[in-house]
Structure 1
């Protein structure tokens, strides 16, 4: 590939997201897709499961989408993926998801495609992929079993996947919280998968029970049947003024306007660190453990377990106290992410010569 950039090359991204798994894999790959597009390349998403809001995201960015009819990670899935890549003369494919086994990825490589695998857990080996990406801070400590003579692994916060709207939010605003006015602003964002619905309610209960001044409490949660209604019911009569962002709201703007954020230990953590916000983090699943441990050890954020919030009134009180203390802080958080991760990833891809694998 031309070292100057992808020019008219098409980048294929194979990732899925929906009500059960959430949209994390789809949304984080957008950071690389935007950088590729900015250099003059085209981007084509392939998904077996996605959401209408993500389709809107792609349309706004001039990117294309095709639905996969086959079962995720099946031989038929690989054949459909290869066929689309060949049709558009793509050289690179980015694969993000837990269902793409080594044999599936080997089929792509056998068809002449270069594969960049995003893998948080080091459980998809052995690794023969051209590039393995894990932007989590402790990725290098995991046991990746590489079977290439020349493996390229991109590990750590230098490769954090920061999308353009988040980068623009930092440019447009001073670091740290915006001026809060008379009412502090707290944002709660735990993702959109089915497993987090109850955790949203536990966070609402914690903040409803807290005493003190009034706060504006924004829940960036999916508009699933009953969830927003139940959150509002939990907070009825409390000190909290509750709001739910519109579907087309700017996510960068929502993060930028918050004085304090309650988040899961997924991709939003890196966006929040980039914006130098103060926050508390909740470990929602096993695949978030490394990030939770890093945040706790570095003291960048206080971390909580979702199970403890559900079972323990004292833990909920600690979360509420954390939001009260930190939402009044005016100093920005630590400056540990520079936002250039997507560009570094593209540069690593461009290092590979055209042809061969």
Structure 2
């Protein structure tokens, strides 16, 4: 099969959409299928730096609405619809079997334009709050996804919902050594862009209390305060190791005693590595999954706008000093099954494809 992904990742929207598309693309690639990404120039630099990247990248065409206004009918003046029609044309020209769409910026009208008889449309969704999905397949790996009433927004779609469809990149599915005795660091990881700059705020708070443990800091390629952070670390008395645009997160997490992390996709990576965590919820779509994770006993959850950074670090330090509790959280994480959701999705898409010659 040939699968095309339409997705973006930038400081304003983070990198989570790209990372889960990459996880699915890796599954397809490992089975010999062709994958291709369509994205804007601003998103491409992140992808091209990753050692685990798979698939070619097609630059998204740019549209000058004023220049095109005299060349197309009034129905196509909306620049996003121009873009959607261009994407649809590319999929047809490429002979795509599936188009996978992931991002909050794609409106129902955009998705409707993408509907086409020559390929099927899969949509990653998180909250079912953006109107009609116009999809052949809806993907949502959240625990509560089956309760989100997709029968209304996507009445004709096949539904890939729940934990069995959570996607993880290959590095997290291949983790074998989760030995607790090897863990000795506090790891700070606030997502690919960290728009609130929680990384620097957390380090400043740790410095105020003269924290003595080894601290690992992970920032993504979309993080915009890199120079300021590097200057702080260089002049700090803290024992900090900084990884920017990290390519080996699983290796870092299996050496982590406690992670202070943004919720979202990172929490599933912590769980896959059996790493106790304090999860910081920064978006509404992260709440339910984080609450479910807290019930499993391997993490604590805080709402970023309901606690000060000093309070957050104080709770973190209290937890750090409770060795038996941390180890019990680690054990509870080990008890949670880790499923290959990307493989489950790819197998489902293969089954739904009209082209019988692709059958396994």
Which one has more relative contact order, counting CA pairs under 8 Å at least 6 apart? 1
For the aligned pair, the TM-score class normalised by the smaller chain equals 0.7 to 0.9
* Equivalence for 1:27: 19
Alpha-carbon deviation of 1:125? 2.5
RMSD: 2.7
* Equivalence for 1:278: 276
Assess, with a 3 A threshold, how the Cα gap between structure 1 residues 148 and 22 changes in structure 2: closer, same or farther: closer
Give secondary structure in 1 for the equivalent of 2:127: coil
* Equivalence for 2:58: 66
Per-residue CA deviations over 1:164-206 (Å, capped at 9, x if unaligned) read: 11222x13x1x354514xxx21111111325231x22332244
Alpha-carbon deviation of 1:21? 1.4
Assess, with a 3 A threshold, how the Cα gap between structure 1 residues 84 and 291 changes in structure 2: closer, same or farther: same
* Equivalence for 2:70: none
Assess, with a 3 A threshold, how the Cα gap between structure 1 residues 101 and 112 changes in structure 2: closer, same or farther: farther
Q: Say which is worse superposed, 66-75 or 265-274, in terms of deviation.
A: 66-75
State the alpha-carbon separation in 2 of the partners of residues 32 and 308 from structure 1.
Answer: 34
State the alpha-carbon separation in 1 of the partners of residues 196 and 79 from structure 2.
Answer: 25
Of 114, 129, 154, the residue aligned with 1:123 is: 129
State the alpha-carbon separation in 1 of the partners of residues 195 and 53 from structure 2.
Answer: 30
State the alpha-carbon separation in 2 of the partners of residues 248 and 297 from structure 1.
Answer: 29
Of 45, 49, 52, the residue aligned with 1:52 is: 45
**Correspondence 1:184-195 to 2 at 5 A:** 184-193=184-193, 195=195
* Equivalence for 1:5: none
Give secondary structure in 2 for the equivalent of 1:192: coil
State the alpha-carbon separation in 1 of the partners of residues 338 and 171 from structure 2.
Answer: 14
Q: Say which is worse superposed, 251-260 or 30-39, in terms of deviation.
A: 251-260
Alpha-carbon deviation of 1:150? 4.2
Per-residue CA deviations over 1:50-72 (Å, capped at 9, x if unaligned) read: 15231233x75441001213479
> Are the counterparts in 2 of residues 126 and 144 from structure 1 also a CA contact under 8 Å?
no
Assess, with a 3 A threshold, how the Cα gap between structure 1 residues 149 and 302 changes in structure 2: closer, same or farther: closer
TM-score normalized by structure 2? 0.83
Alpha-carbon deviation of 1:73? 8.0
Alpha-carbon deviation of 1:287? 2.5
Of 3, 13, 16, the residue aligned with 1:11 is: 3
Structure 1 unaligned blocks of 5 or more = 1-8
State the alpha-carbon separation in 2 of the partners of residues 33 and 65 from structure 1.
Answer: 12
TM-score normalized by structure 1? 0.84
* Equivalence for 1:3: none
* Equivalence for 1:102: 108
Q: Say which is worse superposed, 267-276 or 248-257, in terms of deviation.
A: 248-257
* Equivalence for 1:343: 343
Alpha-carbon deviation of 1:112? 3.0
State the alpha-carbon separation in 2 of the partners of residues 216 and 315 from structure 1.
Answer: 18
State the alpha-carbon separation in 2 of the partners of residues 185 and 200 from structure 1.
Answer: 16
> Are the counterparts in 2 of residues 116 and 133 from structure 1 also a CA contact under 8 Å?
yes
> Are the counterparts in 1 of residues 81 and 109 from structure 2 also a CA contact under 8 Å?
no
Alpha-carbon deviation of 1:117? 0.5
Per-residue CA deviations over 1:219-270 (Å, capped at 9, x if unaligned) read: 101463434236527x833xx4101115464222122222221111110111
Per-residue CA deviations over 1:96-141 (Å, capped at 9, x if unaligned) read: 0011122222222135321110000111222331111111222223
* Equivalence for 2:149: 143
State the alpha-carbon separation in 2 of the partners of residues 39 and 73 from structure 1.
Answer: 36
Alpha-carbon deviation of 1:155? 1.5
**Correspondence 1:155-166 to 2 at 5 A:** 155-166=161-172
State the alpha-carbon separation in 2 of the partners of residues 21 and 294 from structure 1.
Answer: 24
* Equivalence for 2:301: 303
State the alpha-carbon separation in 1 of the partners of residues 217 and 132 from structure 2.
Answer: 40
* Equivalence for 1:253: 251
* Equivalence for 1:200: 199
Per-residue CA deviations over 1:325-347 (Å, capped at 9, x if unaligned) read: 35963753423242311111011
